[in-house]
């Protein structure tokens, strides 16, 4: 083999190939080299093609959902949604892209929004027809029974906004999972914090609506669990009737001196927003305002939280709240599942989630997994006020024989859920 002139580089795409062989050498090598080149190209392209898979994730919602009425969003009640969840779902898919690509998988997000509750069934049937296997669901609690019934075993459902304990208990389903915390979890987080601070005497202000009553039931359970004494319960009511004016008067409702805190059970949020600094006695307000247990806070400054908050704010043009975080981590959970178990059937994937073999980073510190008994995502919760995070639950000193995050919410022996995937 003879050498030709001084080799010169020639750019081909993003690679640089050197040429410096003689004409005879090039002819001798041409056929074998060409065969090797074709073999390499076929080998490099065949593996990803065989492994590639696109998984569609649908965000299911209602266009006329009362939770997203303009006036409610303007009020910004603590613990309430601050906007639609599409941007959070899209961010979850974007954040999972690198890991998915390495596994030869991808996620496509679609928005599936029904005009009203009457149209929801038709929409869900269409998702089944289109074989959309993963649904991130953001609907009012009244529509959940319909969603679970229509989905059956043909879709894996992730609840990103409903707190109802019944969805994790008597109304649970084998294919239903929850990234948003339950009412029991939120109440336990708050009670843990009060016990930690030795604020053990609570005056409870109880609202009249069914959702208020469910909050009150969760609070009573948590208070008993952590030694918080209810020194009195007073009913409040927002009313335009002059005869009922006193039922919404914070000073009259809080004139008892025997309490350390005022715990307000107000799912709507309108009464609770006026309560801090309006009580007769100088007492902190907790529950639906003041100090609130939430899934996420825009001022969380650890574990990658600032980066998540900044990325979301750039995308959605507003701060991230708990429902956004739940939708974001729901897509990350699905991505973790299909990255390692893309060939498993949906029931098998549901069993893997419940088995604790699938973990997800929720930017809260510990890696997160799903409970076997009710499909709830284990997670720390934030005790927050408007401007920041006062603490995280589980609190230091709270113990559990297996997993300390299971001190938040209904534990396995207490669970009424009987559904298994």
The continuous run of DSSP H or E covering 338 comes out as: helix 322-341
Q: What pLDDT, in 10s, does the model give residues 193-236?
A: 999 999 999 999 999 999 999 999 999 999 999 999 999 999 99
Per-residue pLDDT at 32 exceeds 50: no
Predicted confidence band at 38 (pLDDT cuts at 50, 70, 90)? very low
| Residue 357 binned pLDDT confidence (cut-offs 50, 70, 90) | confident
Cα–Cα distance for residue pair 138/143, rounded to 1 Å: 10
Q: Flag whether pLDDT at 1 surpasses 90.
A: no
Instruction: Report the relative pairing of strands 229-235 and 285-287 from DSSP bridges.
Output: unpaired
pLDDT confidence of 52, banded at 50, 70, 90?
low
| pLDDT tens profile 239-270 | 888 888 899 999 999 999 899 999 999 999 99
- Rounded to two decimals, the pTM is 0.87
pLDDT tens per residue across span 95-141: 999 999 999 999 999 999 999 999 999 999 999 999 999 999 999 99
366-382 per-position pLDDT tens digit: 999 999 999 999 999 99
Question: How many Cα atoms occupy the beta-carbon half-sphere of 188 within 13 Å?
Answer: 23
Domains located in the chain, CATH noted:
53-179+296-379 (3.40.50.2300), 185-294 (3.40.50.2300)
Count of residues for the chain? 421
Average pLDDT over residues 66-86: 95
Q: If you ran DSSP here, which 8-state letter would residue 377 be given? A: B
Helix axes 305-316, 322-341, angle to 10 degrees: 110
Question: Taking all residues of the chain, what is their mean pLDDT, rounded to a whole number?
Answer: 89
∠ CA 242-243-247 to the nearest 5 degrees?
Answer: 95
Q: Of 294, 300, 277, whose CA–CA distance to 387 is shortest? A: 300
Q: How many CA atoms lie within 13 A of 281 on its CB side?
A: 15
Residue 110 backbone zone (phi > 0: left; psi -120 to 50: alpha; other: beta): beta
Residue 356 neighbours by CB distance under 10 Å:
13
| Residues with Cβ within 8 Å of residue 110, at least 6 apart in sequence | 56, 57, 58, 59, 132
């Amino acid at each position: 083999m003879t050498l030709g002139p001084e080799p010169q580089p020639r750019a081909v795409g993003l690679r640089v190939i050197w040429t410096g062989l003689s004409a005879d050498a090039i002819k001798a090598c041409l056929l074998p080299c060409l065969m090797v080149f074709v073999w390499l190209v076929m080998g490099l392209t065949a593996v990803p093609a065989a492994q590639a898979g696109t998984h569609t994730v649908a965000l299911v919602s209602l266009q006329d959902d009362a939770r997203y009425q303009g006036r409610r969003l303007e009020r910004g009640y603590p613990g309430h949604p601050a906007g639609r969840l599409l941007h959070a779902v899209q961010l979850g898919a974007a954040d999972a892209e690198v890991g998915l690509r390495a596994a030869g998988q991808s996620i496509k997000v679609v928005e599936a929004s029904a005009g009203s509750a009457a149209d929801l069934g038709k929409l869900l049937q269409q998702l089944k027809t289109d074989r959309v296997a993963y649904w991130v669901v953001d609907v009012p609690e009244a529509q959940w029974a319909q969603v679970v019934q229509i989905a059956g075993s043909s879709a894996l459902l992730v609840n990103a906004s409903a707190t109802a304990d019944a969805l994790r208990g008597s109304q649970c389903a084998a294919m239903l999972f929850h990234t948003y915390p339950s009412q029991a979890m939120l109440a336990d987080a708050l009670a843990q914090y009060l016990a930690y601070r030795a604020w053990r005497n609570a005056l409870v202000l109880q609202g009249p609506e069914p959702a208020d009553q469910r909050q009150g039931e969760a609070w009573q359970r948590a208070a008993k669990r952590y030694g918080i004494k209810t020194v009195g319960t007073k009913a409040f009511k927002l009313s335009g009737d002059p005869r009922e004016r006193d039922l919404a008067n914070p000073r009259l409702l809080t004139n008892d001196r025997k309490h350390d805190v005022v715990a307000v059970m107000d799912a709507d949020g309108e009464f609770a927003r006026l309560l801090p600094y309006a009580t007769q006695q100088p007492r902190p307000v907790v529950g639906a305002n003041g100090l609130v247990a939430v899934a996420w806070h825009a001022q969380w400054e650890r574990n990658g939280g600032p980066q998540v908050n900044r990325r979301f704010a750039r995308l959605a043009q507003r701060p991230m709240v708990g429902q956004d975080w739940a939708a974001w981590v729901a897509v990350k959970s699905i991505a973790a599942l299909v990255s390692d178990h893309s060939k498993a059937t949906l029931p098998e994937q549901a069993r893997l989630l419940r088995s604790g073999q699938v973990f997800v980073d929720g930017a809260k510190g510990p890696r997160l997994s799903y409970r076997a008994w009710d499909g709830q995502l284990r997670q720390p919760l934030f005790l927050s006020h408007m401007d920041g995070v006062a603490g995280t639950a589980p609190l230091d000193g709270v113990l559990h024989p297996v997993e300390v995050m299971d001190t938040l919410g209904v534990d396995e022996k207490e669970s009424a859920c009987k559904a298994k995937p």
